[in-house]
Amino acid sequence: MASDRRPTFALPPGTCDTHVHIWGPFDRFPVAPGAPYTPPERNRDDLVALHARLGVQRAVIVQTTVYKADNRAMLDGIARSGGSWRGVALVDETFGDAEYRALHEGGVRGVRFGFVKHLGGIPDLDLVRRTADRIAEMGWHLVLHLDAANIPEFEPLLRSFRPPVVIDHMGRVPVADGLDQPVFRILLDLMRAPNWWVKVSGSERISAAGPPFADAIPFARALMRAAPDRVLWGTDWPHPNVRWMPDEADLVDLLPEFGDAAALRRLLVDNPARLYGFA
């Protein structure tokens, strides 16, 4: 059952939740055949209610493998947002100029590829490279959902990308392995490149201790220090495939531990406004 608790921390005006998903209504937007999991319906109205509780004004809808490259539910939500939502799409080899133009006009500003094993594993790397080149010309960015082990495995590929690259959920690095783990050191080094961004989201995914996920705080701090103008935040609502289902108010209340007021304004307002083209 959804929480009704409001966070203690007051988010600054213009806060953007850069990582949320929409599933449904299923009578209009059914799950794709062969989807890796079947989620509960969590539609646009549910998201509006969540953000009213948290104090969030802007959002980025991230397409999931539940819908594969059928982006209609996401586009419908953006169209009804009054300009306050953007999107990150999934695409396949059938997408051409007309499809990309329709996505751009619909508020999409990025393409996501997943490398996570339980969601299908490694994508077609030739498609990833071609897509990265194509969206670079459009001013879009590439979003990568990686298992931590993918980072060293694909480091040469990662360093080759031209457009802005956004890593989801702090690279899913396991907190239990510490700040000095080789994977996290590589991620911090990648963040030195001016086109690299990271979401300090997914505290509930990388935590070893469980709620309220305070053991993720040092990782968020380190990433924010590494690239204060290229960090983003999101709730990851409705939290698919998590070990612990978080209360989003708890995730908001972690934020004051990530940085001071100026750092949080960049994280929550300025950085997403710049990347996603909010006024």
pLDDT higher at 242 or 121: 242
Asked if residue 63 lies in contact with residue 89, where contact means CB atoms within 8 angstroms, the answer is yes
pTM, two decimals, is: 0.96
> H-helix or E-strand containing 31?
none
Residue recorded with tokens 């997403």:
272
Does the pLDDT of residue 255 top 90, yes or no?
yes
* Residue 48, burial from CB neighbour count under 10 angstroms (0-12, 13-18, 19+): middle
Catalytic residue among 215, 236, 247, 260: 236
Q: What is the pLDDT of residue 64?
A: 94
- Which residue, 73, 90, 44, 10, is CA-closest to 237? 44
Considering the chain, what percentage of its residues have pLDDT values greater than 90? 95
Asked if residue 87 lies in contact with residue 109, where contact means CB atoms within 8 angstroms, the answer is yes
Confidence band, pLDDT 50/70/90 cuts, at residue 3: confident
Average pLDDT, the chain: 96
Distance from the Cα of residue 226 to its chain's centroid: 19
Q: Order across the sheet with 165-167: list the strands.
A: 16-20, 58-62, 85-89, 108-114, 141-145, 165-167, 196-199, 231-232
Does the pLDDT of residue 119 top 80, yes or no?
no
Does the pLDDT of residue 145 top 80, yes or no?
yes
Structural domain boundaries of the chain?
A: 16-276
**Average confidence (pLDDT) over 104-132:** 93
Does the pLDDT of residue 118 top 80, yes or no?
no
Return the C-alpha torsion angle 6, 10, 172, 195, nearest 10. Answer: 150
**Average confidence (pLDDT) over 133-161:** 96
* Residue 253, burial from CB neighbour count under 10 angstroms (0-12, 13-18, 19+): middle
Considering the chain, what percentage of its residues have pLDDT values greater than 70? 100
Q: What is the pLDDT of residue 120?
A: 77
Residue 236 a catalytic site member: yes
Could you read off the pLDDT of 66-78 as tens digits, one per residue? 999 999 999 999 9
Could you read off the pLDDT of 48-91 as tens digits, one per residue? 999 999 999 999 999 999 999 999 999 999 999 999 999 999 99
Does the pLDDT of residue 128 top 80, yes or no?
yes
The residues pairing with 166 across neighbouring beta strands, listed in sequence order, are 143, 197
Q: What is the CATH number that goes with domain 16-276?
A: 3.20.20.140
Asked if residue 47 lies in contact with residue 85, where contact means CB atoms within 8 angstroms, the answer is no
Weakest-pLDDT range from 2-11, 100-109, 191-200: 2-11
**Average confidence (pLDDT) over 14-30:** 97
Residue recorded with tokens 């209360």:
247
Q: What is the pLDDT of residue 247?
A: 97
